Amino acid sequence: MSIDKIKTGDDLTQSLDIVSDNISKLKELFPEAITEGKIDFKILQDILGNEIEEDDEFYRFTWAGKSQARREAHKPSTGTLRPCKEESVDWDKTRNVYIEGDNLEVLKLLQKSYSGKVKMVYADPPYNTGRDILYKNDFSDNLGNYLKLTNQTDDIGNILITNTDSSGRYHSNWLTMMYSRIRLSKNLLTQDGVFCIAIDHYELQNLIKICDEIFGEENKLGIIAVVHKPEGRNQSKFFGESHEYMLFYSKSKPNCFFNKVALDEEKRDEFNEKDEKGTFKRKNFIRLSDGKYSLRENKPDFYYPIYVSKDLKTMSIDIIDDSHIVFPITQVGQERTWKTTSDTAKVRIDDGTLFPVLENGSISIYEKLREDQVIKTHWINKKYHAYHFGTKVVDSLLDAKTFDFPKSLPLIIDTLKLILKDDDLVVDLFSGSGTTAHAVMEVNKENQSKIRYMVIQLPEPTEKSSEAFKSGYKNIADIGKERIRRASTKINEESKQSIFSSEIDLGFKVFKLDSSNIKGWDGQPENLENSLFESQDNIKSDRKEDDVLFEILLKYGLDLTLPIEEKVIEGKKVFNVGFGALFICLGNDLTSKVAEGIGQWKETLKPETCRVIFKDGGFTDVEKTNSVQTLKRFGIQEIKSI
């Protein structure tokens, strides 16, 4: 018996091959249109009939580079995310993740592990104002470009560009950058998930068009105007722009619901009563407004008795013996109407929404109003102002002027409250100063929830003349990580003084984008001659066991925050991932006794599925064969080597 070696080009050497995955889905729907793995478009056209668009002129949105951006979104990545424990906080326990890297490559690497598992994707991209730094759209070697940018290769290269409005492809450059990132983001969303993206007027109309195309116009939830600078932009020639926008799209609108929250603090204070379902405010069930329409003679169907038992514990539309009979009559004796018909009132009585109160010697009927106000499309509260609740928050935490135009912290807090519930995951594509991560911790503190975050930030170098650089922050990612560390310390101190005792996850695991840890998996050996001589050890010399461990997790499609346990078996370190879902041993001079130990460990954990991965050069052929036989005796069938 032999172990299957994972070779270059195998599915486990790269991120999800979305094209192949889509072909598989197409095969399930139209098997007759797939021949030897290829699509027969003639048959597909016959199946779809008149639904094929063949005219030259039809409604569509295109630009120079769109086809390339679409192809790039589907191209697998061979990169990896390397753990950086020394920059992390509470590594062993936290379920939050901070990733340094080009978000396009990172999104590709997340496809296997997080597809359909993210409740919300948030993006605050460059607005394309004519001065913004953009990711260079050179898809021939996206990972190589990133490594040059971060000085991981000798040639620095021109990886970032300033997209000036004098560029011949000013809008196209920005759209090409955004299209593939938004398309990959959609894959990560749960069926009830939400994509939220911030923008100003420069690219608003174009962003709406690409989001309509990717998510479907029917899944547009709304466009919010946020007043972030009430005094307006002083440098504007005509109108002083005082607001920005947030676009909300759902993965599937029928499955999507907002949480019942009141975003306005003044209105939130009105919800000062509480029952087993949460907070509420009471409101008289008699219709006291609406002029003549609240009078009995104009709406007779809304005038009927409600029966209340003497002890006030039972209410009904049907007659209750020896009960109070309550009509919609005001204190001054005017006959009005209830707010609903009797059928609807019965439903509200049954679900506990209506309740009786004895006051001034008579019975009044009240309804419980939850924090479920309709969210307006204009957010004008002063807490959304960027300078006072964004810039000053960051400056205060970091004791320096480090970041231009961070988002208002309360703005992101309220956005998260609308969408996320306990244990949901939010991904931020352009983390910047780390506002989303900070907001998640604040929401968890307030609601005693366990919302998780994964944020991504390109380590874009800070200008040497900037205050950030002078304060020791060499790149934007350094600013974000330090902001989260200090915010977590502050929240921890505040929590100690709170009456609540629940534990808040204030940590985060740091990962950094890099090329594969395995020689040959990225298809670009640094030195072909040397790699041939070193073929007995397929792991790059500058990489550690932890690096390989997390690459295997990613490419097997496992969560980066799964529990990992280490145990030494016969002198060799063995990793147990996800309570026995995966065992990894990368040691040398292995014997079948290591396999025996793994098998016994598996028997203790009793996982539903179990896989084992070794380093290919870790044992002799004889020991390799014996190890396979041993593991199969324990019911482990999937055994591979790298």
DSSP secondary structure letters along 284-340: ESEE--SGGGGBGGG-GGG---EEEETTS--EESS--TTEEEE-SB-TT--BBEESS
Which H helix or E strand runs over 35? strand 34-35
Which pair of tokens denotes residue 52?
């094929």
**571-599: b (≥16 Cβ within 10 Å) or e:** ebebbbbbebbbbbbbbeebbbbbbbbbb
Q: What is the pLDDT of residue 164?
A: 63
Is the CA virtual torsion 367, 371, 376, 382 positive or negative?
positive
CB-CB neighbours of 164 under 10 Å? 12
Please, are residues 491 and 442 in contact by the beta-carbon 8 Å criterion? Answer: yes
Cα separation, 541 vs 534, in Å, equals 10
Average pLDDT over residues 345-369: 91
pLDDT, tens only, 540-588: 888 999 999 999 999 999 999 999 999 999 999 999 999 999 999 999 9
Q: What is the pLDDT of residue 135?
A: 58
The closest of 295, 373, 355 to 328, measured between CA atoms, is: 295
Half-sphere exposure of 513 (CA within 13 A, CB side): 31
CB-CB neighbours of 288 under 10 Å? 14
Cα separation, 409 vs 381, in Å, equals 13
Q: What is the pLDDT of residue 244?
A: 92
* Mean per-residue pLDDT of the chain: 86
SS3 268: helix
Angle, alpha carbons 409-505-118 (nearest 5°): 70
pLDDT, tens only, 14-30: 888 887 887 777 777 77
Q: What is the pLDDT of residue 133?
A: 58
pLDDT, tens only, 188-207: 999 999 999 999 988 999 99
Q: What is the pLDDT of residue 523?
A: 53
Pure H helices in 559-620: 592-605
Please, are residues 9 and 518 in contact by the beta-carbon 8 Å criterion? Answer: no
Cα separation, 354 vs 316, in Å, equals 10
Which pair of tokens denotes residue 95?
């379920």
pLDDT, tens only, 455-500: 999 998 888 888 999 999 999 999 999 999 999 999 988 877 655 5
Angle, alpha carbons 196-71-209 (nearest 5°): 40
Cα separation, 188 vs 70, in Å, equals 17
Cα separation, 382 vs 388, in Å, equals 9
The closest of 538, 619, 607 to 577, measured between CA atoms, is: 607
Please name the residues in contact with 63: beta carbons below 8 A apart, sequence gap of 6 or more: 171, 172, 175, 176
Please, are residues 149 and 104 in contact by the beta-carbon 8 Å criterion? Answer: no
pLDDT, tens only, 38-84: 787 777 776 766 666 666 676 778 888 888 888 888 888 889 999 99
190 backbone φψ class: left, alpha, beta (φ>0; ψ -120 to 50): beta
Cα separation, 408 vs 312, in Å, equals 47
pLDDT interval class at 435 (50, 70, 90): very high
Q: What is the pLDDT of residue 375?
A: 81
Which pair of tokens denotes residue 633?
């005796």
The DSSP call for residue 141 is G
CB-CB neighbours of 195 under 10 Å? 26
Choose the weakest-confidence range: 274-288, 353-367, 464-478, 591-605: 274-288
- Give the DSSP per-residue string, 159-216: -EEE--TTSTTHHHHHHHHHHHHHHHHHHHEEEEEEEEEEE-TTSHHHHHHHHHHHH-
Q: What is the pLDDT of residue 519?
A: 83
pLDDT at 159 over 70: no
**346-371: b (≥16 Cβ within 10 Å) or e:** bebbeeebbbbeeeeeebbbbbbbeb
Tell me whether strands 286-287 and 582-585 are parallel, antiparallel or unpaired: unpaired
- φ, ψ for residue 438, nearest 5 deg: -60, -45
Statement: the pTM of the whole predicted model exceeds 0.85:
no
pLDDT interval class at 125 (50, 70, 90): very high
pLDDT interval class at 186 (50, 70, 90): very high
pLDDT at 138 over 80: no
pLDDT, tens only, 630-642: 999 999 999 998 8
Q: What is the pLDDT of residue 532?
A: 36
Cα separation, 336 vs 325, in Å, equals 15
- φ, ψ for residue 368, nearest 5 deg: -95, 120
Average pLDDT over residues 323-349: 91
Q: What is the pLDDT of residue 1?
A: 56
Most confident of 15-19, 55-59, 94-98, 294-298: 94-98
Angle, alpha carbons 213-219-222 (nearest 5°): 105
Cα separation, 487 vs 481, in Å, equals 10
Please, are residues 560 and 97 in contact by the beta-carbon 8 Å criterion? Answer: yes
Please, are residues 72 and 484 in contact by the beta-carbon 8 Å criterion? Answer: no
The closest of 618, 619, 599 to 610, measured between CA atoms, is: 599
pLDDT at 413 over 80: yes
**Residue 525 CB-density burial (10 A; 0-12 exposed, 13-18 middle, 19+ buried):** middle
The amino acid at 369: L
- φ, ψ for residue 515, nearest 5 deg: -70, 165
More confident residue, 265 or 114: 114
Average pLDDT over residues 410-433: 95
Average pLDDT over residues 83-112: 95
pLDDT interval class at 151 (50, 70, 90): low
